[in-house]
Amino acid sequence: MDRSRCLACGRRGGFTLIELLVVIAIIAVLIALLLPAVQKVREAAARAQCSNNLKQIGLAFHNHHATYDSFPTGGWDWNAVPNYVGGQPAVGAQQKAGWGFQILPFLEGDNAWKGGQANNDLSRVLVAVGTTHKIFFCPSRRGPQTVTFSEPTYLKGMVVTHALCDYAASNLEGAGVVRQFTPVQILNITDGASNTLMVSEKRLNLKYLGQQQSNDYMGYTAGWENDIVRSTDSAPRPDYNGEDDGKEDLFGSSHPGRFNALLADGSVRSFSYSINPLAFKYLGNKSDGQVISGIDD
């Protein structure tokens, strides 16, 4: 037998070091190409889910109007808690908690709205305040989240767990669909429901998510407070990561380029952060009589 042939037969197959490095480099390039595409798909899905959350919130607002002849209010004061009359949640102008609490029975949150199986008002409040609702969170930013702390002027300094919220109503100026104390009816929206902002995403400092920052700690049940109501006097801006504790009252989101907004007719639209600030201000006012222009889809 030919000796050279025998030597060839005895060699083991495999990659050389250079070939292995080339394969690794090719895989790395493919991952680098695929990762942005995967991230875009994930963001598109998260944006769609966020839009659906707002759609459901809009339906809840209109079901509230159909049931009580008005939209929910923004509650009373920042440290107000859900109040009960005869063991049942107060409604309309009598309810001290904010719009997020008031629409619970129309979001399959009836159990939290009633305070679970508790047999006294304080226990009912703690259940309602601390129960998270997935629909109140944008998946681009976070899943359901709470923060626990004590505040001297809130429930006499009790340590309380607060369920948070990524959406806020329009507006702190008192010219929007959601007002402090006073319920608004659809007939009060003289600019047209399709030209009036009702609820949108709120801007947050991502560095302090889940911590007690000044515009994201009282949660969805809060009364008139920038946790649940924001200003339309300035244009929205995207989330950020900074050193301050989130004192801004702006709308905004974790979505790149655009944010989702619920209009008073129940429709959800996506707006650019470069939206005309004056147009956004007009959008937040339900009855200023101004013609809105400079809004893109």
Token pair of 114, please? 């009633």
Q: Give Cα separations from 112 to 80, 135, 193 (angstroms).
A: 17, 14, 30
The torsion angle over the Cα atoms of residues 244, 246, 250 and 255, rounded to 10 degrees, is 90
Write out pLDDT tens, residues 20-30: 777 788 888 77
Burial class (CB within 10 angstroms; exposed 0-12, middle 13-18, buried 19+) of 276 = middle
Token pair of 145, please? 């989240």
Name the band, by pLDDT with cuts 50, 70 and 90, for residue 32: confident
Taking the C-alpha atoms of residue 232 and residue 174, their distance in angstroms, rounded to an integer, is 10
Name the band, by pLDDT with cuts 50, 70 and 90, for residue 290: very high
pLDDT of residue 7: 47
Taking the C-alpha atoms of residue 263 and residue 285, their distance in angstroms, rounded to an integer, is 12
Name the band, by pLDDT with cuts 50, 70 and 90, for residue 13: low
Name the band, by pLDDT with cuts 50, 70 and 90, for residue 276: very high
Residue indicated by tokens 């998260």: 46
Of 4-8, 32-36, 282-286, which gets the smallest average pLDDT?
4-8
Token pair of 255, please? 């979505």
Name the band, by pLDDT with cuts 50, 70 and 90, for residue 224: very high
Write out pLDDT tens, residues 48-101: 999 999 999 999 999 999 999 999 999 999 999 999 999 999 999 999 999 999
**Mean pLDDT estimate for the chain:** 91
Omega before 171 within 30 of 0, i.e. cis: yes
In the chain, DSSP finds a helix count (H) and a strand count (E) of 6, 9
Write out pLDDT tens, residues 155-182: 999 999 999 999 999 999 999 999 999 9
DSSP state of 263: E
Spatial neighbors of 117 by CB under 8 A, at least 6 apart, are: none
189-225: string of b/e by CB count within 10 Å (b at 16+)?
Answer: bebebebbbbbbbbbbbeebbeebbbbbbbbbbbbbb
Tell me the one-letter amino acid at 19.
Answer: E
Answer whether 197's CB lies under 8 Å from 260's CB. Answer: no
Whole-model pTM: value is: 0.87
